[in-house]
Structure 1
């Protein structure tokens, strides 16, 4: 397409955006809470197939050598249909990045067929800061896909292009805000006063690149465990980060055994290779408090943390008894426990005020690895909000996807990890060590039968430890 023809088509496209109410003028609040006189609601394009086709044509034409890309990926969710239209125009395969991994099916963050080392073009609708593009790049990198370029419909000219360039991404924008305003003014869609108002707004609302860089660097998936230890508000989480860093392990073994002697033998065998030993103390058929002293001694000698996976979920007073009294006296020996948020804050208040160990931490259960569970998005969001309310008590979150990237002091613990199995007869679903670290964002990976069912449990734990640590190093180096 000749340049004159391209420009004419672009001008008409700008008018079309205005006509379908994708560009609005007035007083609108942006995602970051700042008021703007111009708001771009490009999600409406999906209801106008001809406009979407025109956009795909323009973007493909604008990129001089789009064939050099192996893959396309739209930033979720508005840019997904744009990337799809471009893929149909060019026959370049597309991959999709989820905002969160699901606990069914493949459970991947990156969906589609791809090979490690392929180069992917990021597709976005509007760029202000560019942070959404970088989040997508990080997840693609974690899956082994390279990213160097992004193409966008509209650059709001508030510093996003420069920020992306400083982070290794070259941005190509079909329209700038200035250019859009010129086209709309020329078409009589806006007057001189609105053009000037938008111009002043852009000049006054440039992004703070220093602060944004600081925020990006606080992404826990980019930071080493050593640096995150200093950011942990919960003392057990801080200790755990130090152990993980010094022992070079992210392995938690689930000791789901029914015999006390077998439990102690397992702790001795896997102790050199783990950061956490997770118990279900109430399944022991021969439990006695005499078990606790040697278990603590083994944990201290091999430098790992004892974690009772009790999953407290009752009224506060009952939880207080379950935690500090009864047969098991959990609060006297388990530095970490799990709790549901289902019953509200009373559970956490009870765990916080009970007697026992001075240093204690709670993992809140946000997502699970079992098929057919009833957890929904609302429950997950409420759980994360509760975790933020109790920073000194909450050590981390049990989940299957990177739900809290901006909270590097919290630990993501992810169960259901296996080198071989995919599922069992009772609905447990498994993920590979590499997948659980690089795609799902796990800091600590929980392995059960992959270790406890092995002939040489120590050797199995060592193998898992090495594979998981290699994946962690890849995540930190690529970030």
Structure 2
């Protein structure tokens, strides 16, 4: 990997009101929990983020507000939204509804895991893929969904331009079962050439816990800090 990818995580956290509100929202919904959880990479993580628990209309609508605000604040330009199967499908749909509510009506498409062999056929549903495409997903662990989405978008003649996720775990990715010194987000940004924005990052979660200052929060902060010390990237 290129030396252009920054791997330090020594910088002091900065306050991000939108990110802090999102962390609180995720905790209130039970989407973000503390404990001991095994990740895809086989690590024992002290926290777990399960976007599938944004599981009713009110939660999904509020989530879409967070996505829309972060995307608009980022200044990322795009012509349409793509939601990769499966979690990206409702996220993308909710996002375009919220963007339209704010006066920005954009087309939306998503893919099927398996191509349909009847009716309209094919593996894509929704508007034709064209122009600069914004990919929406929940988290990015290995960048697999992003790479698959990029291939689909390019095959349709459109331009994969940016990715927006809910939470950037800011931790090392794995390749062939081995830790590497960059995250999936860094890989997608630096090597696949896409803009990436996240509603919140692990550093925002740590900042939130530090600001709360309760005994339980301090214990969670200590565990998350130790995990980040071992696996974290910026």
Q: Which category describes the TM-score, using the shorter chain as reference length?
A: 0.7 to 0.9
Aligned length: 200
Moved over 3 A (4+): 6-10, 64-68, 187-190
> Counterpart of 1:54?
62
> Counterpart of 2:5?
none
> Counterpart of 1:162?
186
Q: CA deviation at 1:193?
A: 2.8
> Counterpart of 1:104?
118
Q: Distance in 2 between matches of 1:133 and 1:38?
A: 23
Tell me the TM-score normalised to structure 2 length: 0.75
Unaligned runs of 5+ in 2: 1-14, 100-104, 172-182
Q: CA deviation at 1:200?
A: 2.4
Q: Distance in 2 between matches of 1:37 and 1:65?
A: 29
Q: Distance in 2 between matches of 1:189 and 1:85?
A: 37
Q: Distance in 2 between matches of 1:80 and 1:156?
A: 21
Q: Deviations over 1:26-67 (max 9, x none)?
A: 1111223332111111111132x3332222222222223768
1:12 is paired with a residue of what secondary structure? helix
Higher relative contact order (CA 8 A, sep 6+): 2
1:139 is paired with a residue of what secondary structure? helix
Q: Distance in 2 between matches of 1:118 and 1:190?
A: 48
Query: 186-195 vs 79-88, which deviates more?
Result: 186-195
The structure in which a higher percent of residues are helix is: 1
Q: Is the 8 A contact 2:18 2:199 kept in 1?
A: no
> Counterpart of 2:207?
182
> Counterpart of 1:204?
230
> Counterpart of 2:141?
128
> Counterpart of 1:290?
none
> Counterpart of 1:31?
40
1:68 aligns with 2:94: no
The structure in which a higher percent of residues are strand is: 2
> Counterpart of 1:113?
127
Q: How does 1:306-345 map to 2 (within 5 A)?
A: none
Q: Is the 8 A contact 1:129 1:163 kept in 2?
A: no
Q: Distance in 2 between matches of 1:19 and 1:114?
A: 37
> Counterpart of 2:197?
172
Q: How does 1:285-434 map to 2 (within 5 A)?
A: none
Q: Is the 8 A contact 1:60 1:66 kept in 2?
A: no
Q: Distance in 2 between matches of 1:149 and 1:194?
A: 32
Larger Rg: 1
Q: How does 1:440-451 map to 2 (within 5 A)?
A: none
Note closer, same or farther for the CA distance 1:74–1:68 as it changes in structure 2 (3 Å cut).
Answer: same
Q: Distance in 1 between matches of 2:148 and 2:221?
A: 32
> Counterpart of 1:324?
none
Q: Distance in 2 between matches of 1:65 and 1:185?
A: 26
Q: Deviations over 1:89-144 (max 9, x none)?
A: 222111001222133223312212215x4211001111223222111111121122
